[in-house]
Copies of this chain bind each other. A is one copy, B any other.
């Protein structure tokens, strides 16, 4: 009986401060491989001079990059670490670097996301209350009305998965999904050409999930999601290849 205010969540550019700018530039340089792991980053004073900023701003920037586990700050110098050992939070920048997202990375993301969705479904469905089941069915029925418009289906799908996530009640997965969401989804939605799923596939997805929800069969819901994500991956790969 609350929230749902601030409906559209208009995202003002999250206040690009000087330190964030610097952090972004330096982060991207590291991700681009312009420094070898173990190598020293230019000193704070040098960076400050280069960006025409104060050392304070640079320090804030480096402090952020350190949180990404991309560098190791120590007296004597900040050293670059392996990108493979970094935090999830580098995924977004990693994706957004080329003019077109790296196809492999996108596929890996979708693969991973599908596994998390499956996981959520299998954990949520068995513990459904009657009210929750009805809620989910309602959402699915609503989704069944927009099968040909990806634009209007996507947010409903997202909401559906969020509801499932709330029921599964696994904070770890929730936080992982947050990060993937934050890192990935927004960039994915700007894809051109947008992959277009066939209405039949979507109908199959919704119907499959509905059956699973009705019967309390988590594996059925998960399977429907599997199929959906598989075709999604194929389409996205195709879209990226032709771009």
Contact = CB atoms under 8 A, between A and B. Distances in A.
A67 B69 contact: no
Contacts of A73: 15
A88 B67 CA distance: 12
A56 B60 CA distance: 9
B84 A171 contact: yes
Interface in A161-183: 170-176, 178-180, 182
Interface residues of A, number: 42
A172 B105 contact: yes
B86 A178 contact: yes
A178 B111 CA distance: 18
Nearest to A60: B63
B111 A115 contact: no
Interface string A86-98: 1111110010000
B64 A179 contact: no
A19 B64 CA distance: 12
A175 B87 contact: yes
A175 B19 contact: no
A160 interface: no
A69 B182 contact: yes
Given A86-B178, A175-B87, A119 B112 contact: yes
Interface in A22-69: 56, 59-60, 63-64, 67-69
| 6 tightest Cβ-Cβ pairs between the two chains A and B | A112-B172, A67-B67, A108-B170, A88-B175, A108-B172, A60-B63
Interface of A: 15, 19, 56, 59-60, 63-64, 67-69, 73-75, 84-91, 94, 105, 108-109, 111-112, 115-116, 119, 123, 170-176, 178-180, 182
Given A15-B74, A87-B182, A108-B171, 12 more contacts: A56-B56, A63-B64, A85-B178, A88-B88, A88-B172, A88-B175, A88-B179, A90-B175, A112-B170, A112-B173, A115-B119, A179-B179
5 contacts: A56-B59, A67-B68, A87-B178, A91-B171, A108-B170
